[in-house]
């Protein structure tokens, strides 16, 4: 293993970042923006990116970081990349 393969975080629960933003925010902002730019809607892409960034931050402020993963797990369709361990379907929330 090369030293460049290892990343050291400042805190244990600190998410990986691209420049100043977490990867989750960057991906949810850039993907729709790039798709609109392909179709020639640059102004619409900028507006959508700003609204998406504000919406994600507001959602994370009120519900927390991990809540979005739970929403995606329960409400988005399944794909070929499944979770390694699936909890029982009747348990909706785990309390520590």
pLDDT at residue 95 in the model? 72
Is 91 within the bounds of a domain?
Answer: yes
In terms of residue numbers, what domain contains 72? 16-96
Q: How many CB atoms lie within 10 A of CB 51?
A: 12
Is 6 within the bounds of a domain?
Answer: no
Is 20 within the bounds of a domain?
Answer: yes
Residue 16 has pLDDT above 80, yes or no: no
Phi, psi of 84 (to 5 degrees): -70, -40
> How many independent structural domains does the chain possess?
1
pLDDT, tens only, 41-92 = 888 888 888 898 888 888 888 888 778 778 777 777 766 666 667 777 777 7
Is 62 within the bounds of a domain?
Answer: yes
Is 72 within the bounds of a domain?
Answer: yes
pTM (2 d.p.): 0.55
Decide if 15 contacts 21 (C-beta within 8 A): no
pLDDT at residue 18 in the model? 78
pLDDT at residue 22 in the model? 79
Is 49 within the bounds of a domain?
Answer: yes
pLDDT at residue 26 in the model? 83
Is 46 within the bounds of a domain?
Answer: yes
């Amino acid at each position: 293993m090369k030293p460049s393969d290892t990343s050291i975080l400042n805190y244990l629960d600190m998410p990986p970042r691209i420049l100043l933003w977490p990867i989750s925010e960057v991906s949810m902002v850039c993907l729709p923006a790039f798709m609109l730019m392909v179709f020639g809607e640059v102004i619409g892409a900028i507006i959508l990116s700003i609204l998406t960034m504000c919406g994600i931050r507001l959602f994370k402020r009120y519900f927390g970081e991990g809540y979005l993963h739970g929403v995606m797990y329960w409400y988005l369709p399944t794909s070929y990349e499944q979770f390694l361990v699936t909890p029982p379907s009747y348990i909706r929330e785990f309390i520590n």
